Structure 1
Amino acid sequence: MTTTIHWDQTFPLLRLEGMGAKDFLQGQTTADLSGLMAGVLQQSCWLTATGRLRALLELRLDATGADVLVLAGDAEAVRRGFDQVIFPADRVRLGTSSLQRRLQGLDPAGPAFWVGDDQPLPEELHGSLRLENDALERHRLQQGFPPGPEEMNGETNPLELGLTNRISLDKGCYLGQETMAKLTGKGGVKQQLRCWRSDQPLQPGDQLKVGSDRAGTITSALNTPEGTLGLALVRRQFLDLPSLQGPADQAVILATPAAFQAPAS
């Protein structure tokens, strides 16, 4: 199926040099890289030791090391964090940082491409419209991906944000693995990301409620001609409700992002 719109954006890129790059990333990030082939893009998460999401990464291995694209999060924090835990026995060192242009079809969602700044669109994206500014942000909010700064607020974990398919529970020890195992083994997380819309204006930080009970928090908002839409973190006991109330009793309609929806049978 031909895509109709695409994402074209430049992201920070970190370089890891050395034969130990794959093993280093296997222990520092959440995806299982054991079977990852050179040149294939793999998304993964970088967590704190307690499982909080610090960055969403896209990794590419090659014969001499690995490239780490920071899709969401603070690239300099990733670089500092890696630098603090690299030891001579790891057989890896930090190389230069750069910027990388990344393309991806969005409707329907397709594979990502890393290309040069002046490189033409891949054949798969020919004829599609590039989304920019508010149009791109609107698509992000309607899909719930990728997480923005207020979703990655230092307190959230990837399971709350719909990034479960970037998490391996079987590959062995990695930074934050113990918390991921506990959360999946105890019946889930305390909150989840939801898309929302309202006829009334709302802004990040606004509290959502059901009567007098706190039900969640607005994390992202965009004003459109049809009203306001965005993302919110909603407490688990209220996830099945079709709507919540804003701080001034605004009606807030909820929708479940695709990452939390069961695949069609």
Structure 2
Amino acid sequence: MVEVAGPIFINRSHWGRIRVAGADRLRFLHNQTTNAFQQLAPGQGCETVFVTSTARTVDLGSAYIDHESVLLMVSPGMAAELIAWMDRYIFFADKVTLSDETDTTFAITLLGTEADRPLTQLQLPLPDGAVCSHLQGTAATPLGDIPIQVIRGTGLATPGFTLIGPKAQEKVLQQWLTQQGIAALTPQQWESMRVRQGRPMPGAELTKDDNPLEAGLWHTISFEKGCYIGQETIARLNTYQGVKKQLWGFKLGQPVPPDTQLKLEGAVVGKITSVISDDTGVWALGYLRTKAGGEGTVLTVENTTAQAVSLPLATRGYLS
């Protein structure tokens, strides 16, 4: 866990939100993504990965189970693509419906070990238990009550809560948070936290060239639940210890573009996927061949160095 006192907040309304309803919703998601859904109860949730039939990554999402539906929070710009992708697997007898709620709801994330303080002021319930657990509440603001789903988790290793509610009340909640002296993260600051903590994103660390084991997403995979899209490939990689590359953080000597090759003694052993600069230096995410090393390994990248560092969000299964 990454300690930040806070609280601070960021508006994540541009992240996708998909409502999955119908009597077969849990079975459907159980069969279409990497995590196990059928044993989850209302108020619980999980992180899960959408993968292709060959286990290539599409997106990392968070699922929140309600009595009559499941709300999926997915990466920015991915809702329409994932709805179209899932729709291909809904057959005539399946009782499953998909709806895009991105434009009708807001999502605001409060980060920090003191993130519960503004929620208590708003008279909102605090979900206990694991990340993705959630409760429905009503925020009491001077400008009126706001129905809000309170979710434990921030999408990062930093603790906190994500609040989802009706789009029409988005500005009211943001204004209230600002009036309480709670600072807003900029997109650049969020990106810095994402890279340094190791949250993979589509188009960068989640592509047709990567699988969730390589991306450090072992915690999102059920190895016991049986058949699902991509299951055979993932099971084979796990059984035969076939993960040939891994996602690592890197401390760079100077900025380089994404897709720049990582080299060890002149041999190409990986590539950079994301790069940020902040007041602590230059940081990157990238894939490194498993046999080339891990934390502490120093590589060359263009005319500078890259030292591999651990990632708070990465889980590595038998590679740990």
TM-score in terms of structure 2 length: 0.73
| Partner Cα distance (2:188, 2:9) in 1 | 14
Matched residue of 2:99: which SS? strand
Partner residue in 2 for 1:155: 209
Match among 293, 301, 320 for residue 246 of structure 1: 301
* CA drift at 1:212: 1.8
Verify the 8 A CA contact 1:54 1:73 in the aligned structure 2.
no
Partner of 2:85: 81
CA contact (8 A) 1:243 1:254 kept: yes
- Decide whether the 8 Å contact of 1:9 with 1:101 is kept in 2: yes
Shift of 1:113: 2.5
Report the equivalent of 2:241. 187
Aligned match for 1:103, one of 106, 109, 134: 109
Q: Which residue does 2:42 correspond to in 1?
A: 38
State yes or no: 1:9 paired with 2:64. no
The 1:119/1:35 distance shift into structure 2, 3 A limit, reads farther
Task: Return 5+ residue gaps in structure 1 as ranges.
Answer: none
**CA 62–88 in structure 1, closer or farther in 2 if over 3 Å, else same:** farther
How does 1:181-220 map onto structure 2 within 5 Å?
181-220=235-274
Q: Deviation string for 1:160-198 (max 9, x for gaps)?
A: 111110100101111111111111111241111111122
TM-score (norm 1): 0.86
Partner of residue 197 from structure 2, selected from 143, 150, 154: 143
For residues 159 and 54 of structure 1, the distance between their equivalents in structure 2, rounded to whole angstroms, comes to 13
Q: CA deviation at 1:231?
A: 0.6
Instruction: Tell me by how many angstroms 1:225 deviates.
Output: 4.7
**CA apart distance, 1:72:** 6.1
| 1:234 aligned partner, one-letter code | L
Taking the aligned partners of 1:223 and 1:109, their CA distance within structure 2 comes to 19
Segment of structure 1 superposing worse, 193-202 or 218-227: 218-227
CA contact (8 A) 1:72 1:147 kept: no
2: CA distance, partners of 1:48 / 1:129? 39
In structure 2, the CA distance between the partners of 1:37 and 1:114, relative to structure 1 (3 Å rule), is farther
**Separation (CA, whole Å) in 2 of partners of 1:207 and 1:185:** 29
Q: Distance in 2 between matches of 1:82 and 1:188?
A: 28
Letter in 2 for 1:85: Y
**Distance in structure 2 (CA, Å) of the matches to 1:119 and 1:246:** 47
Measured after TM superposition, the shift of residue 223 of structure 1 is 2.9
Contact 1:57 1:72 in 2 (8 A): no
Match of residue 30, structure 2, among 26, 30, 40: 26
Deviation at 1:36, TM superposition (A): 1.3
8 A contact 1:197–1:230 mirrored in 2? yes
Could you say which residue in structure 1 is the equivalent of 2:120?
none
Q: Does the alignment pair 1:114 with 2:163?
A: yes
For 1:106 and 1:150, how far apart are their aligned partners in 2? 26
Distance in 2 of aligned mates of 1:198 and 1:182: 34
Q: Is the 8 A contact 1:12 1:75 kept in 2?
A: yes
One-letter amino acid of the structure 1 residue matched with residue 12 of structure 2: Q
Instruction: Pick closer, same or farther for the CA change 1:177–1:261 going to 2, 3 Å.
Output: closer
Q: Secondary structure at the match of 1:85?
A: coil
Number of residue pairs the alignment of both structures matches = 259
Matches within 5 A, 1:158-173: 158-173=212-227
Cα deviation for residue 50 of structure 1 reads: 0.5
Deviation at 1:51, TM superposition (A): 0.5
The more displaced of 136-145 and 5-14 is 5-14
Q: 1:227 to 1:41 in 2, by over 3 A?
A: same
Alpha-carbon distance change, 52 to 45 in structure 1, aligned in 2, over 3 angstroms:
same
